[in-house]
């Protein structure tokens, strides 16, 4: 893979991948609750298969499963001493699955250690991020995604740590309400991150496509840099417009899952708004990424031509409605 993420974005929209932790939880490899990624060392083949699924679906970037692979989060399950092993394994597996066909993005996320204005907590966050970055860089990533930050203050720390590697950095925030937890609107927060050197800014997780679109539209208007959007594929409600607040979270979300076509529609709308990096987050499986890839023209609408036999119909789809007629 010779072209960098920035060169690819310059040429046109880039398709990201889907959500790993919720997908692997539904398959029985991740524990709902802590949502720590020890699957990287305990069931590496399950993770590799999901990476390969997203790659096959059309994803042009694979994110390392290092979400919550920070020392404090791993300590919750007694795995703090396996921090290096877990981070290195995640990068190695993503790199192997990408097999030169996709970029590999190192990943950092919120730590729950950040306290606004508290210099000790800021030092703690910096140390947690620097440690993860060090282990991920031992294997090597193409750029960094700093994601799911509820405080722009904590996102800034992650951004500054990741920038020290000299690699491009994308920073995306998650919104529970109209503002970050430190009181910034999406536009204000995006401008702060752009000003601090983020190459790509945007939003991921928490919101479904319907609730995410106005946020990403505001971000697009506020900044000149590249913009990213990676929504969840779980339907949110006006009362609870973020999926982690639903009563069904974390392990009864199946009835809330959106169809591939709803994510495909999101990809089209985001593209029309001028979003440069489009992908999925929690709940987005291979089928959702595949449909987004189709909508964005990354893969053909159909794998191969097939002959329809109306005299001997196999199914309602074949008899009454072909996929081409959608």
Q: Which is nearer to Zn ion, 139 or 146 (CB)?
A: 146
Q: Which is nearer to Zn ion, 171 or 282 (CB)?
A: 282
Q: Which is nearer to Zn ion, 107 or 124 (CB)?
A: 107
- From the CB of residue 132, how many other CB atoms can be counted at a distance below 10 Å? 29
| 281 in contact with Zn ion (CB under 5 A) | yes
Evaluate the omega torsion of the peptide bond into residue 98 and state whether it is cis, within 30 degrees of 0. no
Q: Which is nearer to Zn ion, 110 or 156 (CB)?
A: 110
Nearest approach in angstroms of CB 301 to Zn ion is 28
For residues 7 and 168, what is the distance between their CA atoms, to the nearest angstrom?
A: 11
For residues 295 and 187, what is the distance between their CA atoms, to the nearest angstrom?
A: 27
Cβ pair 264, 301 in contact under 8 A? no
Nearest approach in angstroms of CB 314 to Zn ion is 37
Stretch that binds Zn ion, among 175-183, 203-211, 238-246, 271-279 (CB under 5 A): 203-211
Q: Which is nearer to Zn ion, 25 or 124 (CB)?
A: 25
Stretch that binds Zn ion, among 124-132, 185-193, 200-208, 215-223 (CB under 5 A): 200-208
End-to-end CA distance of the chain: 35
- Number of residues interacting with Zn ion: please give it, by CB under 5 A: 3
Burial of 100 (0-12, 13-18, 19+ CB in 10 A): exposed
Beta bridge partners of residue 144, listed in sequence order: 106, 169
| 50 in contact with Zn ion (CB under 5 A) | no
Element (H, E) at 155: helix 152-163
Interface with Zn ion (CB under 5 A), residue from 74, 282, 292, 293 = 282
Nearest approach in angstroms of CB 282 to Zn ion is 3
Q: Which is nearer to Zn ion, 58 or 231 (CB)?
A: 231
Cβ pair 64, 106 in contact under 8 A? yes
DSSP state of 275: -
* Binding to Zn ion in span 79-98, by CB under 5 A: none
Nearest approach in angstroms of CB 263 to Zn ion is 13
Residue 196: partners with Cβ closer than 8 Å, 6 or more residues away? 156, 159, 160
Nearest approach in angstroms of CB 302 to Zn ion is 30
Nearest approach in angstroms of CB 326 to Zn ion is 28
Stretch that binds Zn ion, among 25-33, 197-205, 286-294, 302-310 (CB under 5 A): 197-205
| 74 in contact with Zn ion (CB under 5 A) | no
Beta strands per DSSP E along 14-151: 14-15, 61-63, 103-109, 143-149
Distance of CA 49 to the CA centre of its chain: 17
For residues 117 and 2, what is the distance between their CA atoms, to the nearest angstrom?
A: 42
Stretch that binds Zn ion, among 5-13, 127-135, 242-250, 280-288 (CB under 5 A): 280-288
Q: Which is nearer to Zn ion, 219 or 281 (CB)?
A: 281
- From the CB of residue 181, how many other CB atoms can be counted at a distance below 10 Å? 19
- Alpha helix (H) ranges present in 164-208? 186-195
Interface with Zn ion (CB under 5 A), residue from 205, 222, 225, 236 = 205
For residues 67 and 79, what is the distance between their CA atoms, to the nearest angstrom?
A: 14
Binding residues for Zn ion (CB under 5 A): 205, 281-282
């Amino acid at each position: 893979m010779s072209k960098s993420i920035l060169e690819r974005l310059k040429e046109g929209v880039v398709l990201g991948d889907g959500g790993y932790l919720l997908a692997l939880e539904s398959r029985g490899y991740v524990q709902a609750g802590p949502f720590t990624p020890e699957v990287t060392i305990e069931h590496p083949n399950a993770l590799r298969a999901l990476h390969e699924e997203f790659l096959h679906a059309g994803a042009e970037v694979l994110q390392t499963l290092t979400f919550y692979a920070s020392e404090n989060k791993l300590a919750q399950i007694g795995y703090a001493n396996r921090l290096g092993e877990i981070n290195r394994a995640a990068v190695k597996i993503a790199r192997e699955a990408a097999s030169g066909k996709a970029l590999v993005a190192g990943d950092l996320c919120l730590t729950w250690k950040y306290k606004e204005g508290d210099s000790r907590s800021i030092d703690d966050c910096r140390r947690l991020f620097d440690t993860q970055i060090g282990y991920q860089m031992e294997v090597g990533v193409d750029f960094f995604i700093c994601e799911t930050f509820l405080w722009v203050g904590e996102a800034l720390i992650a951004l500054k740590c990741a920038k020290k590697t000299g690699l491009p950095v994308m920073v995306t925030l998650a919104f529970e309400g109209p503002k970050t937890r430190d009181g910034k609107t999406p536009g204000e927060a995006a401008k702060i991150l752009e000003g601090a050197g983020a190459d790509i800014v945007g939003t991921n997780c928490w919101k479904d496509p319907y609730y995410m679109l106005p946020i990403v539209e505001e971000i697009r208007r506020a900044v000149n840099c590249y913009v990213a959007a990676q929504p969840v594929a779980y339907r949110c409600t006006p009362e609870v417009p973020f999926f982690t607040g639903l009563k069904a979270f974390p392990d009864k979300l199946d009835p809330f899952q959106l169809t591939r076509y709803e994510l495909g529609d999101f990809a089209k709308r985001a593209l029309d708004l001028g979003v440069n990096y489009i992908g999925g987050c929690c709940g987005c499986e291979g089928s959702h990424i595949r449909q987004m890839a189709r909508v964005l023209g990354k893969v053909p609408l159909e794998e191969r031509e097939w002959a329809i036999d109306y005299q001997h119909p196999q199914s309602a789809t074949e008899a009454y409605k072909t996929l081409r007629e959608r």
